[in-house]
């Protein structure tokens, strides 16, 4: 974002289109008094974000009040024009012939206000979605726990307070500031009991199954554990690929030991991995930002670590194991409960790095339309978190899709796969949901320019 070229493109897009876009974007409802929920929440409690496998081709806070929904409805009734937009097929058909898309393309466009299909080509065919599967993850976790839920990280003590356990609750955004606050509260509580030396354990038993994502050791995702500091990043980055810790949970526990030591609490043993004692008392606790804000961060930055953590929260809320299989089953069950078209869908992971994921374009647009439905306000962050083309997140350097700032969409890329799904405000003020999936592109990122032009054409 500090790149001069990106700044110039952003400024240019703003100068040309912002005046036109402002009224329609405000009417479309993805803003909360001009500021997205995640941005407001991040200003109050900064956290780290993570990366995704689709980089540019050019290569101790107590629970607080829940954030208000960003809008009562994504498109207020008064702003809904009576007339449908110009025929979508005429706008998209020529662009779909672009060689960069390859021979397998699936498209769905619906009216977000009514759910009516406006255009479809192989819309019901399950395809590898790459990171657009995060839209399904977002809707599922919001349906499961709601946008106000916060994820705890706790410290518990044995009855004599001589042994303490740092318990991972699955917060993917735990950072130094909140870990220090947790150490403050822990040290204060121990001093009140006359304790200055403890044995320290750390508990990661919340998650089940493999710690490594099937993609293996990869800079786009850390080992999946309920306890991690800064997403296991070993550099100062806050998004995108980064070197990752081989054992984020132990690293977090070691950091906690150091923070306790500074506060006068020494450890005679540990940290060791262990399940918390059956009889234990709560010593201290910190909470993540509300899940609604985490969803927004996940979508904006295509954060793989947050995606996997949120899907496991959906599993826990559904009474399933917090594993890859449990998370996938929970996502599917929650979407089924929302009466969404799941034929052929498979959720092999929550972030889209797994090529075994399968969703259809019609499922993606149905998810977006459901999130826009005033009857489902708790799903709204699945829309408000979408990057704004030419301005934010993974679309900040893709001005071709900018559409005067009216395109908001989740990106997705793997080698041979390019996808884009989101919403666009038409010149008449109607909100459309779209999903474009290209499944056999010539090379990594080859389909992005064509997908961007397709999205921009809807805005025109």
What CATH number has the domain bearing residue 22? 3.40.710.10
- Indicate which residue of 131, 163, 360, 362 is catalytic: 131
- Indicate which residue of 239, 280, 302, 396 is catalytic: 302
Q: Is 131 a catalytic residue?
A: yes
Note the pTM of the prediction, 2 decimals: 0.85
Residues 302 and 264 in one domain: no
Residues 24 and 120 in one domain: yes
CB contact set of 114 (below 8 Å; sequence gap of 6+): none
Q: Is the pLDDT of residue 54 over 80?
A: no
Q: Is 245 a catalytic residue?
A: no
- Indicate which residue of 106, 108, 134, 245 is catalytic: 134
Q: Is 108 a catalytic residue?
A: no
Residues 160 and 111 in one domain: no
Residues 161 and 200 in one domain: yes
Which residue range(s) make up the domain with 156? 152-287
227-286 pLDDT, tens per residue? 999 999 999 998 889 999 999 999 999 999 999 999 999 998 879 999 999 999 999 999
Which two tokens mark 443?
């090379």
Give the residue, 34 or 115, on which the prediction is more confident.
115
Q: Which of 287, 312, 341 is the last residue of a domain?
A: 287
Split at pLDDT 50, 70, 90, the class of 315 is very high
Q: Is the pLDDT of residue 372 over 90?
A: yes
Domains in the chain, number: 2
158-191 pLDDT, tens per residue? 999 999 999 999 999 999 999 999 999 999 999 9
């Amino acid at each position: 974002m500090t790149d001069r070229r990106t700044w110039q493109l952003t400024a240019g897009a703003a100068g040309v289109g912002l005046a036109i876009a402002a009224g329609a974007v405000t009417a479309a409802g993805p803003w909360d008094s001009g500021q997205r929920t995640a941005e407001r929440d991040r200003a109050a409690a900064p956290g780290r974000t993570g990366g995704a496998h689709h980089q540019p081709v050019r290569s101790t806070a107590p629970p607080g009040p829940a954030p208000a929904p960003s809008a009562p409805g994504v498109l207020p009734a008064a702003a809904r024009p009576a007339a449908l937009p110009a025929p979508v097929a005429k706008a998209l058909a020529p662009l779909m012939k672009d060689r960069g898309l390859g021979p397998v393309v699936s498209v769905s466009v619906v009216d977000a206000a009514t759910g009516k299909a406006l255009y479809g080509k192989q819309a019901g065919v399950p395809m590898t979605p790459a990171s657009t599967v995060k839209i399904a993850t977002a809707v599922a976790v919001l349906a499961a726990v709601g946008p106000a839920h916060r994820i705890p990280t706790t410290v518990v003590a044995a009855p004599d307070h001589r042994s303490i356990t740092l318990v991972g609750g699955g917060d993917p955004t735990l950072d130094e500031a909140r870990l220090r606050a947790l150490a403050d509260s822990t040290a204060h509580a121990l001093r009140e009991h006359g304790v200055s030396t403890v044995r320290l354990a750390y508990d990661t038993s919340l998650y089940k199954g493999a710690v490594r994502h099937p993609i293996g050791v990869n800079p786009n995702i850390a080992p999946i554990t309920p306890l991690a500091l800064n997403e296991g990043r070993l550099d100062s980055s806050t998004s995108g690929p980064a070197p990752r810790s081989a054992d984020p949970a132990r690293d977090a526990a070691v950091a906690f030991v150091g923070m306790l030591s500074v506060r006068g609490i020494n450890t005679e043993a540990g940290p060791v991995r262990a399940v918390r004692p059956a009889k234990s008392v709560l010593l201290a606790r910190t909470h993540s930002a509300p899940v609604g804000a985490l969803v927004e961060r996940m979508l904006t930055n295509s954060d793989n670590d947050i995606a996997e953590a949120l899907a496991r929260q959906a599993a826990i809320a559904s009474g399933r194991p917090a594993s890859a299989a449990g998370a996938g089953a929970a996502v599917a069950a929650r979407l089924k409960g929302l009466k969404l078209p799941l034929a052929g869908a498979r959720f092999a992971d929550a972030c889209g790095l797994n090529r075994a994921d399968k969703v259809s374009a019609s499922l993606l647009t149905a998810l977006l339309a459901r999130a826009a439905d005033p009857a489902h306000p708790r799903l709204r962050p699945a829309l408000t978190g979408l990057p704004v083309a030419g301005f934010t997140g993974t679309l900040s350097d893709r001005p071709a899709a900018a559409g005067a700032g009216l395109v908001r969409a989740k990106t997705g890329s793997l080698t041979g796969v390019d996808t884009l799904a989101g919403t666009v405000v038409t010149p008449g003020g109607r909100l459309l949901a779209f999903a474009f999936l290209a499944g056999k592109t010539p090379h990594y990122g080859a389909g992005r320019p064509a997908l961007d032009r397709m999205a921009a054409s809807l805005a025109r």
